Amino acid sequence: MKLVVVSAGLSVPSSTRLLGDRLAAATVGRVSGPVDLKVVELRDLAVEIAHNFTNGFPGRALSAAIEDVTSADGLIVVTPVFSASYSGLFKSFFDVLDKDALVGKPVVIAATGGTGRHSLVLDHALRPLFAYLRAVVVPTGVYAASEDWGAEGLAERVGRAAGELAGLMSRPAPAPAAGSESVSSAPGGAEAVLPAQAALPGRADGFHVVPFEEQLAALRP
């Protein structure tokens, strides 16, 4: 099982990296079996990330980091807070990933900042970003302000988020549905089976669509 930490900390030592390490250690301790732990330090990839935007090709180190992230069974992503949001370096890294790279991947979101007033960054910035990327974000996000280190509460939040991530990593991926019929939820909790989709004329790629009127008709008693 592979666990990857993405840290956007800039300093050495970095409280952002420290928070990522704590979350990783707590997760490893809750996963049954061996864990391959990798850490991606975005600070070391800043130049290659910028070049990727201008020439369209990742460098060797960035390619390796992308491979680690896309092949992970679980992710821990940690950013410092800049201007009430994630850092530009953090966002730029996830901008260079393929749009489907994180679909269904379990993710813990975490952030560090100088004051507790920035804690809403988890729900106002990070959670929407990874929802857009269709990752599975665990319920507990972890924010650590300067005064949180060594204070009560941080260890409990780290442990809770790690437990949620470990549970998702250990869960087998759902099998794709068999057959050509699709099932949708109908009013009242009933399930309606929609007819097989007909190919649109002129589409060589076999793209299928069910007209909205047919979907409504299938839901009527």
In this predicted structure, what is the pLDDT of residue 184? 42
> Largest Cα–Cα distance of the chain, in whole Å?
65
Summarised one tens digit per residue, pLDDT across range 120-156 is 999 999 999 999 999 999 999 999 998 998 878 899 9
Summarised one tens digit per residue, pLDDT across range 98-119 is 999 999 999 999 999 988 889 9
- Which position has the token pair 């959670």? 127
Alpha-carbon distance 192 to 214, whole Å? 12
- Which residues fall within 8 angstroms of residue 120, CB to CB, at 6 or more apart? none
pTM for the predicted model, two decimal places: 0.77
Q: Outline where 56-206 has alpha helix (H).
A: 60-70, 88-96, 121, 127-132, 154-170
The answer to whether residue 161 scores a pLDDT higher than 90 is yes
In this predicted structure, what is the pLDDT of residue 42? 97
In this predicted structure, what is the pLDDT of residue 214? 73
Q: Please tell me the least confidently modeled range out of 12-21, 48-57, 188-197.
A: 188-197
Alpha-carbon distance 2 to 36, whole Å? 5
In this predicted structure, what is the pLDDT of residue 188? 45
